[in-house]
Structure 1
């Protein structure tokens, strides 16, 4: 048996007037999902336990079968694993975004956060900016590491997780002064962010971006604190080998921490325009040539579109996932005579109206190629239908055990 999880980050949403009262998932053209749904198990799953952060770190741990209440170490140390950064027991890590702040005159705390991703800045540009921040603000205790696009890392020796920090995508179009850090080292963290603005606002990279009509990456934003993670190994837990395919350091890090293979795909961007074909081809090779039993394909596009309030692009991302990921993988497995189980789901909802994550249960669909006797043509994969089935995994981390037979 081969196992495939297609994780459409943030795909679940609300019914939108702009889409005729449908959700983006209902509105999107998904012929391959539609063909499989009548033969599939459809229900809802709670991926974010009560009291846990409404993030992709919490939710993806749940989907992969790890109880976040037991195995949550923060998102940034998982990203550190993906980046190849060796952590010591005394290290505390922080996600460090480059963000776009308003550039009107006035105090730093009066600025508005305009974009958490700086128009999805390129990795090459962001690397230069983070290196400038490291040169000016890094020291023996604190070191900045460049990551992918807007997502970077701060490692703080003998830092503290006893601090309240706010994800930048949760406060878009709001004044940052209302979200200053609280707790241990709060003033130091704020000063790092404040000083970064002076370093970055007139940097040649940002001058060039503004000349092209792109948003500048004129400040860092520190959040997502965590400590060195220790996850049970996926193969020991489930008895099968596995791999993850993602453009996002967080997902790569979860996979690496769980002893899975992390597969890089050229042109994978983490947005609506990612290299879908490359990801599908990598998954097929992983299963049919490399001998892996399980592959976890993470697509970030729907989530980014939710944060950016782009319902049309969210619909497009979902359609692309269906037609360029699910379709080719199912076809390849069938043509090769493989028996397989396919699970499609989001990790959490990212409603375009709210532009941030929510914690309500999300719809899942499990298709088993060996069970085609019972068919219900009225079945469909959507938020509304999934709620009506009465199937609800209230402990999200238990769904993976159900999926892997």
Structure 2
């Protein structure tokens, strides 16, 4: 069995999509939820979704270590450390420290570092990470409020986070095939090896080269290159549509475009950042009332930031982002419990994590793919309500996502 540790909830579903596409029977379990022995025996891969991307380093390491022990107890033969395809981190971590603890515990002498996801425009060439045609440092990620990415060479991003050496394998070697890549990894000077990958064929070559490695790491793209166990039956069953809503905590340029596109045909409401900090319960109540007033037709959008000027970092000296996440999570809980919402799209990794926690969801059943890195999942809330849930990374998806996503549930 393949075991995976994802540093946020949208990243976990992103990886699960790629594994499912590659023939894995896969489940996503939320934090400390145990899917049970009978469920585990019927799957080829388990992804544990954590909320550690921007957590304090010690917390991220402890949570990842615990997840690793659970995967080993469940019989995982290979462990996949999943992080964002834009390598979201700071010089303190958390990618390096998590890789260190997993590699140390499994005795991995060499670990590939492969953030590329070509389907979404994330590629690595000569060790540099690109977002579309732009170097990472010239993309919108340069202005990320939590993990601003001001460098593009992956090795330069990782070196401050780990005491171990970091080296590179460039594209000429990758084009020589799996044997050449495997030999280059084995003779690399450092523990961590950043491998150029500019298309899916490169990922297949790399996947074959690391088939027997105890630890692999990357974005979700590497999953499409791993050895396939077969083609699973599609056991997805649609969930009755009694209400829809989009809840956006992300302030990324991609999500802002999606909000603007949806606003042409759907009602939109911004979370009041001051109210989120000063009177969160009242703001939750106003959001719930606003969504209920829209009726069952359409898919209203509640968002944190529709344009750069909307981004507010502090109110009364307190951070706004966690307050907005809490308000959106509280609104999700009440909308499902009180307003009959059974189809919910969440945008932003931190927001998605807060919403899943608020709903008490322990397991995600992966369903139809909406766009690269985004899918519908079936989930059951702590109150026993079955819902369709899509968790979207802030930087993923086409501009019309908030209006077109529902078509995949028809």
User: What TM bracket, shorter-length normalisation?
Assistant: under 0.3
TM-score computed with the length of structure 1 as normaliser: 0.28
TM-score computed with the length of structure 2 as normaliser: 0.27
Q: Which has the higher contact order (CA 8 A, sep 6+)?
A: 1
